[in-house]
Amino acid sequence: MNIKEKFFDLFGMYIEKKTKRMDISKVIKKLLPYEIGINLIRLGDDGDGGYLIPDDLANLDKNYSAGIGLLTKFENDLQNKYLIDSMMLDFNNINKNILPKNSQFLKKKLSLFSNENQITINDWIDNKDEEIILKIDIEGDEYINLASITNEKLMKVRILIVELHDLRNLRNLIFLRNFDKIISKLNQFFYPCHLHINNMSKVINIAGFKVPDMLEMTFIRKDRVKDFNFNYSKLPNKLDKKTVKDKEEIILDKNWYL
């Protein structure tokens, strides 16, 4: 331990290697949504719990929602408007009265192994389901679960909705490298088709880019998109709503596109 490290250790701090501008630019560009030639629709609440997804819901077997809290309008909309049943998972006690009919609720959390309190994402997704929606909002645990999901299970997902947390850590080179591997894995199978900033986020400057701490992302499996043209979609979308109504909306930094 050198003198500088001893000084930081004295105050309970540590030194981390920061990311370079080129590295952060390459990673955040992988999140930018594309035009896909399919209209987006909004399902769920007008604020938190509402999502924009492609209007490509025909012949879906099921929706899988990890992380529910008190917000189930998205799942109820899928049931009432499209007759799509949901598998729902949360480690908290959920009032069964807010669950849509025909849904199944599992009081567990997603993790790397299965036991009485948790289940792996691969064990949770039924092998019998061929075409599904997967919605993940699990406060940072999305990364280990997206890293561990098999390609076989991932190919069942037509529409992926995920809230990405803790993006402030992209300033840390180790986090950035792991994050990049996970997003690159998704990019093999999916196109990002929508991005919305959770306006509860703090925004920090990382290598000259304004980065919010939480992003709500929607992806669509590549084989569902015909005549892909590499044009970025316009943000914000006219259907976007503020996650928290009494806070200002946060607009994506235009430098992300440079």
pTM: 0.93
pLDDT at residue 92 tops 80: yes
33-257 topology per CATH: Rossmann fold (3.40.50)
Contacts of 158 (CB under 8 A, 6+ apart): 56, 60, 131, 132, 133, 220, 221, 224
pLDDT at residue 219 tops 60: yes
User: Cα separation of 197 and 236, whole Å?
Assistant: 9
Residue 216: closest CA among 125, 137, 122, 123 = 137
Q: What does R_g of the chain's alpha carbons equal in angstroms?
A: 19
- Per-residue pLDDT of 98-138, as tens digits, reads 999 899 999 999 999 999 999 999 999 999 999 999 999 99
Q: What would the mean pLDDT of 186-213 be, rounded to a whole number?
A: 97
User: Per-domain residue ranges for the chain?
Assistant: 33-257
pLDDT band, residue 5 (cuts 50/70/90): low
- Per-residue pLDDT of 53-67, as tens digits, reads 999 999 999 999 999
Q: Which residues of 194-204 are buried (b: 16+ CB within 10 A; e: fewer)?
A: bbbbbbebeee
pLDDT band, residue 30 (cuts 50/70/90): very high
Q: Across all residues in the chain, what is the average pLDDT?
A: 94
Write down the pLDDT at residue 211: 98
- Per-residue pLDDT of 179-193, as tens digits, reads 999 999 999 999 999
